[in-house]
Structure 1
């Protein structure tokens, strides 16, 4: 009798816990719908939902990085990984007269004049964004372009920057990797496989500043792996002459320079393109800072106001900036070279 009573008690507690989880899930769903309606601009529908729940959804807010659209995307990714196809979530309801079983008086209509109409869903004529990639390679930018040629074939360029931020090696973290991160990486790899099987011509260009952190499964899907090294001396000279020409005018302010471009380019060995741009920016700011210093040293109320004029940026100014601005990637060149020897594919 004691054992039977204990079993009944445990079963009752389990049933109550399951009912509590179900009720919490329903409440969370209503709160997600409420905030989704507000975010999409359907204020009247959100107010009506809040009134139906007696203000029960207005008192809560969703947690950070959580919304209804993200939850739906997570479910779609899970369904695709498990069944190799996306779930069918909605279907069109039959119109009156299309189904003989629908009676004319069987549809209850409710006033909805104050509710913002839902947008019309039009099928896209462009190829699926996650389908297609005939020759993946390594590069930069994050936009998608569609072009049509005379043969009506669909061409798309897919550019991914900072690839290591989303496709780092799985299981590399000491504390363990989050389930959502693993599923996202798996989904991306599956989509890359779909690109190769697509009939459309899709070109994938990916860029990474830390290629040794990329997952090996992603490296296998990038057929061409090319190391873009630091700019050469002629390239650095062209960059400096571009950013600091002899005469430039921006917003009505003229900036003049007298620079020995060849000497400066030789003195920036090991500087990356971003480093060269930063040095040019700092050199151009030196005349402006001199003006600020003159204004700060001028006594308030004095009659001898100094003449404000931008001085010419000289080679000495540029070399002075170089002493305070060091290259950011020179110490990593050995790792880049070693990685290129092991994984290079041109």
Structure 2
């Protein structure tokens, strides 16, 4: 739950308390207390922790007031419940029931980690306390009776006030964490904020088959420093650069998307076109601006896909002067990440995550700065079975389909090759159905007729058509490079 969700649920709980719906308010308060407690444990700044603990204490007091009111109302209900008359012919008087409203769904919004330093809104706290102090016990609980005009007016004023506070909070939140681009062209800042700070790609660790060592390393480099800031200091500081090396289609970019989804750091997705400009000197400014924004929105992960296109070897005859200046600026900024005073705090961490299919073309200085160099291999036999299950989870399969047998025939296939085989096999039933039909007959085919299970024969046919994309010579080059320069 993000800070914005916590703020809005606090307002919602206080609104229900003001309107007398104490059961719903109590459920919201209890959930908020648990969420704030978990959020405090993830913070490294002691001053921020004290402010959040103060907020937790205030919400706890409000929750206790709501609990006291509910307890008083239950006692009042028991006191007013008449005893059952001994004469069964007499009319029985039913006890008065207090209406219990359903618990409203909490407000859920996408989490933006770089906005989580916004102070909470306490404006409704005094109103809640005043309402509990001056209102008679059990007031406004009987929902069966119509509200008086004065009560309707008060409820309307509360609703308007809550809406106004919500709008003000939204404006404050947008203005709180905003990078100050003084000294830079405003268009450059807006371009980076628009094109680089990516939305959550919604790729989980479980969506990636095999590659357990790579996932373990990325968790250690990004997630654990956030959970254990006191441990990752000094010589145990987080890795400032990780390079993923491997054949095409093995899941390097997918791992980067999983980092963006699972680690909840600000994620910058950089390509060579992002940092390229036709004006002299502007590309270097973009590189410097990128790292300044990354430090501002820290903790941050900068992902550079196909890094060999940006940081090829210097000193070659094909190298242009502008390209050399961009490489030099990028190397200096990566050293600045390590030498910056805030690097001792994991919450201010900036990590560069890079991927390449041509590691032998990367400049030696860049290779030195990418401290962890890991090999992303072709999937194993077990990994191929897991990839088949992931690719075919939405597909209806015939009873004769043997995934283990299919995986055994796919030795040497990359993850992308396996996905292509599954896609081709899934289209086989459609091809058989429309064979020999006219366009008009094809348009008149019903949806139910197209739902035909994929058979083992379809997979065998697809395997004959879709070949593997990685040669044995390429694999030998990768294994030789990682044996010489790898750090796993």
Sort the TM-score into its range (normalised by shorter chain): 0.5 to 0.7
Q: 3-state DSSP class of the match of 2:265?
A: strand
The answer (yes or no) to whether the contact 1:133–1:204 under 8 Å persists in 2 is no
Aligned equivalent of 1:329: 470
Looking at structure 2, the residues matched to 154 and 309 of structure 1 have their Cα atoms a distance apart, in angstroms, of 50
Aligned equivalent of 1:228: 376
Q: 3-state DSSP class of the match of 2:428?
A: helix
* 1:62-107 alpha-carbon deviations (Å, 9 max, x no partner): xxxxxxxxxxxxxxxxxxxxxxxx99579xxxxxxxxxxxxxxxxx
> Cα gap change, 1:260/1:194 in structure 2, threshold over 3 Å: closer, same or farther?
same
Aligned equivalent of 2:487: 345
> Cα gap change, 1:185/1:317 in structure 2, threshold over 3 Å: closer, same or farther?
same
The answer (yes or no) to whether the contact 1:133–1:195 under 8 Å persists in 2 is no
Greater shift, 221-230 or 178-187, is seen at 178-187
Map 1:1-346 → 2, pairs under 5 A: 134-139=239-244, 140=253, 141=256, 145-146=265-266, 154-172=298-316, 176-198=318-340, 199=342, 200-245=348-393, 248=395, 255-258=396-399, 259-296=401-438, 308-331=449-472, 332-346=474-488
The answer (yes or no) to whether the contact 1:133–1:202 under 8 Å persists in 2 is no
* 1:23-81 alpha-carbon deviations (Å, 9 max, x no partner): xxxxxxxxxxxxxxxxxxxxxxxxxxxxxxxxxxxxxxxxxxxxxxxxxxxxxxxxxxx
Shift of 1:308: 3.6
Q: Structure 1 residue runs of 4+, over 4 Å off?
A: 86-90, 297-300
Looking at structure 1, the residues matched to 405 and 319 of structure 2 have their Cα atoms a distance apart, in angstroms, of 49
* 1:205-246 alpha-carbon deviations (Å, 9 max, x no partner): 21111111111111010111111111001110011122114x
> Cα gap change, 1:171/1:314 in structure 2, threshold over 3 Å: closer, same or farther?
farther
Q: 3-state DSSP class of the match of 1:226?
A: strand
Aligned equivalent of 1:101: none
> Cα gap change, 1:313/1:299 in structure 2, threshold over 3 Å: closer, same or farther?
closer
The answer (yes or no) to whether the contact 1:133–1:196 under 8 Å persists in 2 is no
Looking at structure 1, the residues matched to 421 and 364 of structure 2 have their Cα atoms a distance apart, in angstroms, of 36
Q: Taking structure 1 as the reference length, what is the TM-score of the superposition? A: 0.52
> Cα gap change, 1:88/1:310 in structure 2, threshold over 3 Å: closer, same or farther?
closer
Aligned equivalent of 2:69: none
Q: Taking structure 2 as the reference length, what is the TM-score of the superposition? A: 0.38
> Cα gap change, 1:213/1:292 in structure 2, threshold over 3 Å: closer, same or farther?
farther
Shift of 1:170: 2.2
The count of residues paired between Structure 1 and Structure 2 equals: 208
Looking at structure 1, the residues matched to 390 and 376 of structure 2 have their Cα atoms a distance apart, in angstroms, of 21
Looking at structure 1, the residues matched to 471 and 445 of structure 2 have their Cα atoms a distance apart, in angstroms, of 49
Aligned equivalent of 1:115: none
- Pairwise CA RMSD of aligned residues? 3.8
Looking at structure 2, the residues matched to 321 and 181 of structure 1 have their Cα atoms a distance apart, in angstroms, of 44
Structure 2: runs of 5 or more not aligned: 1-180, 191-196, 198-236, 245-252, 268-296, 343-347
